[in-house]
Amino acid sequence: MPVPEHSSPAPTARDAGPAGAPQPPPPASTELSAFLATLPEVELHLHLLGAASVDTVLDLARRHPPSAVPVEREELARFYAFRDFARFIDVYAAVNALVRRPGDIAALVTGLGRSLAAVGVRYAEVTVTPLSHLAQGIAPQDLADALTEGRAAVRERDGVELARVFDVAGELGPEPAWDALGWVLRYRPEGTVGFGLGGPEVGVGRAQFARHFAVARDAGLHSLPHAGETTGPATVWSALRDLGAERIGHGITTVSDPRLLDHLAEHRIALEVCPTSNLRTGAVPDLADHPLPRLLQAGVPVALSSGDLGMFDTDLAREYRVATDVLGLRPSDLAHLARTAVEVSYCPEPLRSALLAAVDDTLPPGDRS
């Protein structure tokens, strides 16, 4: 759903789309667009499947008829109109069922590279859920090879460096989580940086995965679980205490716990915050009330991210626009957000230093680190 540039007042987040879903505001001024074009971007919360563009999903749906996923563009946009988290999970499963061969994995990776390059992303940590693809019959080695080949193609063609986080859907429980971790440790495709925990949070305690994350950390993987998106700060505390979380996926309900805010700020544990995703899944009812400004005021490091950019019809540039147009951040705040994203990433040198320098070039001289 392309959004035209215009200067009329932004609709509010309560405005409804074709299927009644709340819509984020359109892009703002060309001045902001020009600033964003100079800002090198880093994406730390992206899911390979959910990030698939409409073009990629249409391609997959047409490769594998019949399926529950529409093969026409407008129908697919309606199919993607989420009202709550449960509906999102259903749609995610339907799209996942289209990924059946190594070539489908490669299509997801190369399609993502195109989408990221189009908005100036230079480095991304992409979450892949190996069990979802293995369950569709893709052989373990083929999955690793397709990811590695796709990553090389994206670097070559789009100039985007991709790293991987492999996660498990928590609702499957502890036993399948061992299978997921076993695959990661055995095949460990190039660019693997972390182990994650996704899926619904309600009724899926983080602590049951404590041993998995201990093994993952011992193997040199970073602990990057989701927590505090649809449940309260106790889940974030558990992710920190039981899983040794080094960043938190979402974590927006942290805002209601001053002690947790202080803890994250003091220990520089970042939240990967995805405003449009939170709106689409109903985790936040209105973008104007999104806790991002309060998190920043409390000194919490935030990596602004787009999450499932294809399914949520967003991208990182659009999230930056939301941060200014709806949440009142200034361009210099955006540059600081971009800097934080690099700092809390696992981006290797020399790209890391190059990105930091490029971000600093967008700041006023007195504001540079």
CB nearer Zn ion, residue 28 or residue 80? 80
Q: What angle do CA 221, 116, 300 make, to 5 degrees?
A: 55
Task: Give the residue nearest to Zn ion (CB).
Answer: 249
Task: State the minimum distance, in angstroms, from the CB of residue 87 to Zn ion.
Answer: 16
Smallest distance, Å, CB 272 to Zn ion? 8
Tokens of 196: 């994650």
The DSSP secondary-structure symbol of 330 reads: -
Is the Cβ of residue 113 or residue 249 nearer to Zn ion in the bound state? 249
Query: Is 248:239 a contact under the CB 8 Å cutoff?
Result: yes
Closer Cβ to Zn ion, 123 or 325, answer by number: 123
Tokens of 135: 């369950």
List the x/- string, 104-133, binding to Zn ion by CB under 5 A.
------------------------------
Strand order, beta sheet including 247-250: 226-227, 247-250, 270-273, 302-304
Q: Which two tokens stand for residue 361?
A: 């070039």
Residues 64-83 binding Zn ion (CB under 5 A) are none
Q: What is the dihedral of CA 246, 336, 341, 268, to 10 degrees?
A: -10
Kindly report the number of other CB atoms within 10 A of residue 348's CB atom: 12
Cα 312 off chain centre by? 11
Q: Are 323 and 316 in contact (CB under 8 A)?
A: no
Beta bridge partners of 247: 270
For the CB of residue 303, give the shortest distance to Zn ion in the complex, in Å: 12
Encoded one letter per residue, x for contact with Zn ion by CB under 5 A and - for no contact, window 31-60 reads ------------------------------
Q: What is the nearest approach in angstroms of Zn ion to the Cβ of residue 80?
A: 16
Of 191 and 249, nearer to Zn ion (C-beta) is 249
User: Least Å distance between CB 250 and Zn ion?
Assistant: 7
Alpha-carbon gap, residue 169 to 356, rounded angstroms: 33
* Residue placing its CB nearer to Zn ion in the complex, 132 or 324: 132
Positions of E strands within 19-74:
41-47
Q: Which residue, among 59, 68, 74, has the nearest Cα to 97 in the 3D structure?
A: 68
**In angstroms, rounded to a whole number, what is the distance separating the alpha carbons of residues 9 and 117?**
29
Side chain identity at residue 259, one-letter code:
R
Q: How far is the CB of 128 from Zn ion (least distance, A)?
A: 12
Q: Which is nearer to Zn ion, 47 or 336 (CB)?
A: 47
What's the closest the beta carbon of residue 46 comes to Zn ion, in angstroms? Answer: 8
Taking residues 227 to 256 in sequence order and writing x for each that binds Zn ion by CB under 5 A, - otherwise, the string is ----------------------x-------
For Zn ion, the closer of residues 249 and 291 by Cβ is 249
Q: Looking at 41, 229, 272, 343, which residue is catalytic?
A: 229
125 is catalytic: no
What is the phi/psi pair of residue 166, to 5°? -105, 130
What does DSSP say about strands 302-304 and 247-250: parallel, antiparallel, or unpaired? unpaired
How many residues in the shown chain lie near Zn ion by CB under 5 A? Answer: 1
- Active-site annotation, residues: 229
Contacts with Zn ion, residue ranges (CB under 5 A):
249
